[in-house]
Structure 1
Amino acid sequence: MIPPPAPRDRARSPVTWLARALAGAAWSGRADPAHPRSRRLAPRVPGFLGLLPFRTIDLILLADLVLAFVLYSAVQSMLQTDTTRLPAPLGWGEIQFAAACSALPLALRDRWPLGAWRLAAVLVPAGILTRLQTLETPYSADTVIMYLLVLYAVAVRCERHVTIGAWLVSAAGAWWLEVQIDQSGVTAIGVGLMTAAVLLGYNVRARRTAVRLLAEEERRSEQALAGQAVLEERARIARELHDIVAHHMSVIAIQAEAVPLKARGQARLLEEGLAEIRTLSLTAMTEMRRVLGVLRDADGARDTAPQPGLGHLDELAATARSAGLAVTLKLGGDLTGLPAAVSLSAYRIAQESLSNAMRHAPGSAVSVRITRTADELHLHVADDGGRRSPAEPGIGEASRHAGHGLLGMRERVSMLGGRLWAGPAGDGFAVTAVLPLPEDP
């Protein structure tokens, strides 16, 4: 069903709107770009034809060119066969012109649909006048096929007022043809066929427009959800680091008050107390730089519950094992004394990786390897794919790439100035994170 006219169209008088439609069809209208071809309609050129100037074969354009050649040859053959039976046989030039009238617009309709229709609107009457004195029925199947296909292309690629203008001109042409050949019914049949072609093309255009708008809306929704996920993750990180920063500042305040009382004029005790305050201050400043710019909740809410670290890995692995995963922990280097932010982030990355394995690779064997070097903490979590169905390869990996958990990992690693890799590994999925360790103050 054709939707009601837009508000701006209803605001115009019928005469003004009709003049705009006819002008758009005749000269001012423009066609939209061609709809992107699917791979089935635009296959790649085979390798042995690599020297061709194009990389894909447009099957729609190829079909138009082939049909145009067939119509050209058919009209040529029809007008040249048994010319003795014709009241006034056509010359060679007239035969070529009549054949071109049925073929040329069809060859141009994919690249220039509106131009092809305008050309057909001129060539069809000219071709009919050429045949009028030689054939009892100057209109034939080749003319009907060509004109309907060109009119359909206009309806698919042009705005509604241009399409209606082209339909009105075509209906007037059908009436003119009926008057010229003095045969009743030509206008009714012609208008019926052209109306069907226009409605079909308009519905295809409306469907493509709806699909495009829906895709754009989904893309905007995905971007909004991704942005919201980043904001939520930043707020969660800020809440988790609240205790870390607050702890350092509380200790500094207590030390600043207690050191003078403890020293009581003893220079050595005073220096030791001030050195300890300096160390705590530098550590707190480092933590505050990491959380600088991280957004908090709009209402300022804070979750002050103690946060886990790498010391809780055994509990995390036990929880994953109870869910059916075969978790193997491999720890290298001294993991004690890590900065709280690094330990917390490494724990959360391992936790999210195990959660992803539970969701996307149930029953899989998961290896968690954490190694500390002089200036970095390396974390690697990999699963073997588990009981994923062989009929649906890659679904787990695609959903892991699209999930919010990976966004949270990247936010954590980026906040610490580290690096993160995540993607398919063999039959499963792997996450590798490298977190830099701050130098001792």
Structure 2
Amino acid sequence: MPTSSPIPANEFERVLDLIELDLDYTAQHESFEDLVKLAARVAGTEISLLNLIDSFTQWTISRHGMDMEQMPREDTVCQFTIMESDFLEVKNLMLDERFREKSYVAGDAALRYYFGVPLKTPNGYSIGALCMLDRVEHTLTPEKVELLKIIADEIVARLIMVQAINNLKYDLNEAKEVKKRVAHDIRGPIGGIIGLAQLISQRGEKNKLDDVLQFIKLIQKSGTSLLELADEILNTDVKSIQAAPELTEHELNLLVFKDKLEKLYLPQAKNKSISFLVNINPENGVVPFPKNKLLQITGNLISNAMKFTPVNGKVTVDLDLELKDNAKNLHIVVRDTGVGLDVPKMEAILNGTAASTDGTSGEQGYGFGLPLVKHLVDGLNGTLTVQSALGQGAIFDIKLPFN
């Protein structure tokens, strides 16, 4: 008999802690490959996986011995591991009613043994699990269990270190941009001052007092302009963009954003036989913008749309970047042909109090996906609107300003 999925009491804070890491799940394998291999060797198992669990999905960001990228959260063993304070061991998955009918147990993979250690952040939230699996049973000694816990702690430390390094790279890039701007913008005023000084020097005794006074006034004017410019640079975060700069690790453009969304969510669409399409406005396709939590915001909306869209339905994402003066406005629209929402449910979403319901194919609801989206959008000073009617699908419209 199927078992309902467990939900941690601190689920909202738990997922928010994961989102704060702002990870690209498609780009982490090499950073943790050594630790995942080490875990398999310590446990003596054929397979080890590093899994992070968000509102809807288990993302395998690094793997050894098994080709796995993602799985619906309700189908996983690790969803039970994050409920544990220490570890979870299942000697034989086939004998456990929670897992015996899962494809990785009853199917060709024929997995039997599972050992998982929760990945706890410094705030005490379990954002995923390091798990070891095999087709035969194992017995782990207390020493091996402690070693696996140490590896799990090192993974969390490295996740935080990756985030810190990315933040430093971002700050360094910002400093480089300011340096470029300073070098460009002060060249003119300084050149003018030097030119006037040279002219006075070259004329020597031929200078008339009135001419010298006029030159001094011009020098003073240029100097004042230079000071004003320096003050402006030191007191504003706005960067003048002469041409599209090179994309950094903290940035996306529409083309890259589209590619990442397709890689992450096409498997979910194919699994449910849903059409999934991402459209962009090519006019501003290469203009960079901060990627700050955009994958998490849009991903939650996409997963939610797929959850409530029946087989052979359609989920479409439209992305556009509106440029005006020095401001950028990212426009994200997620449309589905699902069951739709009534007015009370739409109001609950916009109030951040939406409750969980099961999907069209019985997918487990956790009740935190849309409130999290609302929380994140509000934190970025953006807006979220919802258009829907029962039986007519839904449209989620997000606008995010970037100065």
TM interval, short-chain normalised? 0.3 to 0.5
More helix per residue: 1
Higher relative contact order, structure no. (Cα contacts within 8 Å, ≥ 6 residues apart): 2
Q: TM-score under structure 1 normalisation?
A: 0.33
Which protein is bigger by CA-based radius of gyration?
1
Q: TM-score under structure 2 normalisation?
A: 0.35
More strand per residue: 2
